[in-house]
């Protein structure tokens, strides 16, 4: 005897998390950040801005808001990231429905900052999409994955910091001192690598 199968039509769009028959466009913004001012990072920064502008504008169901940016800013905390803070403020004010960013580490390398921001946005129904990890924050698994990824990003940042500190200590122990000669009045770097007095 053949089974009778009843197909229940999908009512929620898995991509937009909105009703299938909804015609209103989602207001979408991108977020791009690089942590240094080095030339190759600036190229990466410009590429991110260009990519997200084109990516968002190519979707008929999305309305492009803008790409928020922070250049030469570390992600270890969000306090000094003006572009990031402006984006969160605009989202909470109802100007943004979805934020797209490259990865969890681009968003924040501090687990507490990352989760606090995501939860604050989630309460208002605002979603963040981390493209590299494929995580949507309104997804039920989203917060667990963000916690894991943010913790890994934070640990990586701490490890890099420790390596840099160790390298500096080793150089000091070997008698190699790096001085900021461009801001060091009365001295220049001598031929032997040691400070040389500039009499004038």
% of the chain surpassing 70 pLDDT = 77
Instruction: Reply yes or no on whether the pLDDT at 71 is more than 50.
Output: yes
Range from 71-85, 114-128, 132-146, 156-170 carrying the lowest mean pLDDT: 71-85
Q: Is residue 106 helix, strand or coil?
A: helix
> Could you tell me the residue range of the domain that residue 71 belongs to?
26-155
CB of 154 closer than 8 Å to CB of 162: no
Domain with residue 121: its CATH number is 3.40.50.1390
The whole-number average pLDDT for the span 153-174 is 74
Q: Which of 6-10, 21-25, 88-92 has the highest mean pLDDT?
A: 88-92
In a domain, 166, yes or no: no
Model confidence at 34, in pLDDT bands (50, 70, 90)? Answer: confident
The whole-number average pLDDT for the span 76-86 is 74
In a domain, 7, yes or no: no
Per-residue pLDDT tens digits for 116-147: 888 899 888 899 998 888 888 887 776 677 77
In a domain, 145, yes or no: yes
Instruction: Reply yes or no on whether the pLDDT at 155 is more than 60.
Output: yes
The CA distance from 129 to 98, in Å, is: 7
In a domain, 2, yes or no: no
In a domain, 135, yes or no: yes
In a domain, 17, yes or no: no
The CA distance from 110 to 107, in Å, is: 9
In a domain, 114, yes or no: yes
The CA distance from 91 to 97, in Å, is: 7
Query: Whole-prediction pTM value?
Result: 0.61
Nearest CA to 131 out of 154, 113, 104 is that of: 104
The CA distance from 28 to 72, in Å, is: 24
Instruction: Reply yes or no on whether the pLDDT at 77 is more than 60.
Output: no
Number of domains in the chain: 1
What are the DSSP E strand ranges found in the chain? 26-34, 62-71, 98-101, 127-130, 135-136, 187-189, 195-197
In a domain, 48, yes or no: yes
């Amino acid at each position: 005897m053949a089974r009778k199968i009843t197909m229940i039509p999908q009512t929620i769009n898995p991509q937009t998390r909105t009703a299938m028959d909804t015609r209103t466009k989602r207001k979408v913004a991108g977020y791009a950040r690089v942590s240094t001012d080095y030339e190759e990072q600036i190229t990466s920064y410009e590429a991110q801005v260009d990519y997200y502008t084109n990516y968002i504008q190519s979707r008929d169901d999305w309305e492009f808001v803008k790409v928020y940016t922070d250049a030469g800013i570390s992600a270890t905390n969000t306090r000094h990231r003006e572009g990031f803070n402006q984006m969160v403020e605009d989202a909470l004010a109802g100007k943004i429905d979805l934020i797209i960013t490259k990865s969890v580490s681009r968003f924040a390398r501090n687990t507490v900052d990352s989760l606090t921001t995501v939860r604050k946005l989630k309460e208002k129904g605002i979603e963040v999409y981390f493209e590299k990890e494929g995580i949507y924050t309104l997804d039920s698994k989203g917060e667990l994955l963000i916690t894991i990824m943010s913790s890994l990003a934070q640990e990586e940042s701490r490890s890099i910091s420790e390596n840099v500190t160790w390298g500096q200590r080793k150089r000091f122990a070997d008698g190699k001192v790096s001085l900021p000669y461009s801001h060091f009045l009365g001295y220049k770097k001598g031929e032997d690598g040691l400070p040389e007095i500039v009499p004038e």
